[in-house]
Amino acid sequence: MRPRTMQAMLVALAALVVSFAGPGAANGQVLVIQERDLEFGMLTPGLQTTVAPTDLVRSAQLRIEGRGNYQVSFQLPAALTAPGGAQIPLTFGAGDGRVTIRQKITTFDPNDVVTFRVNPAEREAQINLGGRAQPAPGQRAGVYTATIVMMVVQTGT
C-alpha cells in the first residue's frame, strides 16, 4: 500500500461591507444592494490566483438603484488573514473595478475614487470588483478572510 500525499487546502474569501451616504431623506430613492463577496476559492500554495471583475461567480458585485451622481471608493485590505495570523498578500490594480450602466462599461482602479452618473432612464449601476491573491510556496492550509469596505456617496441628483 502506497502512502497518500496530502495537498494543503487554502480557502479565501474577501467579504464586502457597504456604507452609503446620500444627500438626505427627501431624495431617498436610492437602494444599495450587496449581491456577492469577492471569492478566491481554493488556492494553491505558490500560485497567484486572479479574479477578474467580469467573473460572474467569484467577483464582488454590488448594485445601486436610483438616479444621480455617485462617488465610489474602497478600503482595500493588503492581505487575507487566517485565525492563527497567517496571511496571503492581496493586490488590486487598474482594471480590477468595473461599473456597468445599461450597455456602458467603465473599468477603473479600485485604489482610486470612481465617479459616475445614473440617469433617470437607466435606473441602476452594477459595480464589480476583482483582485489577486498570492499565497507563498509554503503557505499553511486554512480559511483566510479579509474585509473590503466600499463607500458609496450620492453627490447629487
- Looking up cell 497567517 gives 86
Report which of 13, 110, 117 is spatially closest to residue 53, judged by C-alpha positions: 110
CA atoms within 13 A on the CB side of 21: 7
pLDDT in tens, 58-116: 999 999 998 899 999 999 999 999 888 999 999 999 999 999 999 999 999 999 999 99
Residue 9 confidence (pLDDT) above 50? no
> Which CATH code of 3.40.390, 2.60.40, 2.20.28, 2.40.128 fits the domain covering 10-156?
2.60.40
Give the single-character DSSP code of 5: P
Nine-digit cell string for 72:
465610489
Highest mean pLDDT, choosing among 7-11, 27-31, 39-43, 114-118? 114-118
- How far apart CA 56 and CA 81 sit, in angstroms, is 25
Residue 50 confidence (pLDDT) above 50? yes
Residue 11 confidence (pLDDT) above 80? no
User: Bigger pLDDT: 69 or 16?
Assistant: 69
SS3 call for 121: coil
Q: What's residue 100's pLDDT? A: 97
8 A C-beta contact, residue 64 and residue 32: yes
pTM: 0.84
**Cβ-based neighbours of 133, under 8 Å, separated by 6 or more:** 12, 40, 43, 48, 49, 80, 88, 89, 90
- How far apart CA 147 and CA 128 sit, in angstroms, is 15
- Looking up cell 487554502 gives 10
Nine-digit cell string for 24:
438626505
Q: What's residue 142's pLDDT? A: 86
